[in-house]
Each structure stands twice: as C-alpha cells, then as structure tokens.
Amino acid sequence: MPNPKHRLGIKYLKPKTIMSLSSLYIITGSSKGIGEALVDLLLEEDDSEVIGISRSKVKKENPNYTHLEIDLGQIEELIDRVGDIFPKKEFRKIVLINNAGWIGEIDHFGHLKDQSIKNIFEINTIAPAILMNGFVKNYSNQVNAERVVVNISSGAAKKSIDGWSGYSASKAALDMMSKTAQLEAELDKNGIRFFAVAPGVVDTEMQTEIRSASEDSFSALTKFKSLKENNQLSSPNHAAEKLLFLINNTDQFSEVLQDVREF
C-alpha cells in the first residue's frame, strides 16, 4: 500500500519546530462530491485539522474534523459567523478551499427566477470572496506557515454555455478575484498563494443536476449525458488527489489559473 503522503507529493524537509505544528484545512462544500473526497483524504493524515462547511450536517468519527453548518447563500448569516471560522493559533500550513458551488437554475434569460440569479452569485462568488477576505485578515501575519487559497473554478469560466449564464459568470468572477488576490499578496509581500482550479468533469450530484435539465434550456444536454454513459467523468477522489498535489507542490505552479486536466 503506497504511503499517501508520497502519492499526494507532500514534502518532508521542514524545520523540526514547524513540523510539530498541525496543518489546517478549511473546506466549503464538504458534505459530498469533491469536498467530501478532499476531507476524507486529508483525514488520513494525523496532523491535519479540517474544518468543513456545508448546509447539511456531517458527522465524522475523527477528532480532527469540525463541521460548521452554514448556508453560503445566506450572506448576512455568513458575515455574522465569519469571525468564528478561522482558528487563531499557529499552524505549519493553512489552506482555504472554496469548493462549495451550485450549477444554478439551468435556463435561458427570460425564464430564470430573479432569486436564483442572485443566489448563484452569492454561493459561487460572494461567499468565497468573504472567506478569502477573512483568510487574509486572519493569517497574513503567520509568515512561518505556508498559506494557500484554492478556489474551485470551472472550464465554464472561459466559455459561454447556454443555460449556464450565472454559473459561467460567477466562476469567471472567481477566477478574476483569485488573480487580483495573488497580485495583492505580491504587493503586500504576505506570502499567500492563490489559485483558481478547474477540477475537470467529475461524477458528482452537480453532474446529475446538469443531466436533469431540459434540452430547450441547455443545448449541450446530449453531450453531458453521453459523457456519463461513456464513463468519461472522473471520480471525486481523482479530482481531490490532483487538488492536493497542487496544494502540496505550489512551487511547481506559477500561474493562478489551473486545470487538473493539465497536470
């Protein structure tokens, strides 16, 4: 059985004092899909503390896991609670993964509910921005810790797909926020690395929701159905392993925008 630390490309050469500290991972959307796979991989390591966030309750028989039930589409609630999300102690490594996301109401303009237009930007763009702000506020001075923010983006951020206006635009905004945050980190010399990463097409509930759309509202429906029928979706575990490889080897990745299909 290969050592999972080797598989994920984790580096060992750290000073002893730093090595004795634990690593902190804050992961949104930890109840299922890619987020759940990330949590399960990270909890294989004894020195990882994981804080997961989602609307559903999540119970793990592991003292290193803490779950916060927060609806990231309720921005006022998030603003009230954001101060409690970031533990104030020293860590060896601190990672925020803005993974929670919603495909949105799949339909053309003229048929969308105004509330879902608002909600998709809250979940996919505004909530990650508030968490990025909290992360920088709380950890910009922890210069001895390696600090990484990964925003889970999508290939859709770079192309128009009918029925997905909110999804594409909210992920494009997330890409641009990540690039700006990286620019600011360089100007402020705070050492934080920011990435926006497309995870590939992954076999999760989000894809089930995509396949349940109607062809009138989404002309690529047949293509997405055939990806599933032909076993062309990657697994949540595969996507999570790729994301952890990037997080553990940031010096190999100079660009902010990344796609797991390219490494």
Ligand X SMILES: NC(=O)c1ccc[n+]([C@@H]2O[C@H](COP(=O)([O-])OP(=O)(O)OC[C@H]3O[C@@H](n4cnc5c(N)ncnc54)[C@H](OP(=O)(O)O)[C@@H]3O)[C@@H](O)[C@H]2O)c1
Residue 77 is a binding residue for ligand X (CB under 6 A):
no
Query: Of 25, 65, 139, 167, which is the active-site residue?
Result: 167
Report how many residues bind ligand X under the rule CB under 6 A: 29
- Taking the least distance from each CB to ligand X, the nearer of 4 and 155 is 155
- What is the Cα–Cα distance from 116 to 106, expressed in whole angstroms? 10
- Taking the least distance from each CB to ligand X, the nearer of 54 and 142 is 54
3 state DSSP class of 11: coil
167 is catalytic: yes
- Taking the least distance from each CB to ligand X, the nearer of 33 and 134 is 33
Residue 238 is a binding residue for ligand X (CB under 6 A):
no
- Taking the least distance from each CB to ligand X, the nearer of 46 and 229 is 229
Site for ligand X in 142-161 (CB under 6 A): 152, 154
- What is the Cα–Cα distance from 19 to 160, expressed in whole angstroms? 45
- Taking the least distance from each CB to ligand X, the nearer of 198 and 256 is 198
- What is the Cα–Cα distance from 33 to 151, expressed in whole angstroms? 15
Residue 73 is a binding residue for ligand X (CB under 6 A):
yes
- Taking the least distance from each CB to ligand X, the nearer of 23 and 54 is 54
* Burial of 12: CB neighbours in 10 Å, binned 0-12, 13-18, 19+: exposed
Residue 230 is a binding residue for ligand X (CB under 6 A):
no
Binding mask 157-196 for ligand X (x = CB under 6 A): ----------------------------------------
Residue 199 Cβ, how far from ligand X at the closest point, in Å? 5
Stretch that binds ligand X, among 3-11, 12-20, 93-101, 180-188 (CB under 6 A): 93-101
Task: Output 16-20 pairs: Cβ under 8 A, ≥24 positions apart.
Answer: 18/92, 18/144, 18/145, 19/92
Q: Structure tokens of 208?
A: 């089930």
3 state DSSP class of 64: coil
Residue 202 is a binding residue for ligand X (CB under 6 A):
yes
Binding mask 24-63 for ligand X (x = CB under 6 A): ----xxxxxxxx------------------xxx-------
Cα separations (Å) of 41 from 6, 25, 52, 95, 247? 13, 12, 13, 14, 13
Q: Structure tokens of 80?
A: 């009230």
**Sign of the torsion formed by the C-alpha atoms of 80, 38, 145 and 87:** positive
* 77, amino acid identity: E
Contacts of 10 (CB under 8 A, 6+ apart): 248
**Torsion angle defined by CA atoms of residues 6, 45, 195 and 15, in that order, rounded to the nearest 10 degrees:** -80
Binding mask 203-222 for ligand X (x = CB under 6 A): -xxxx---------------
Residues marked active site are found at: 167
For binding to ligand X (CB under 6 A), which residues are involved?
28-35, 54-56, 71-73, 99-102, 123, 152, 154, 198-199, 201-202, 204-207
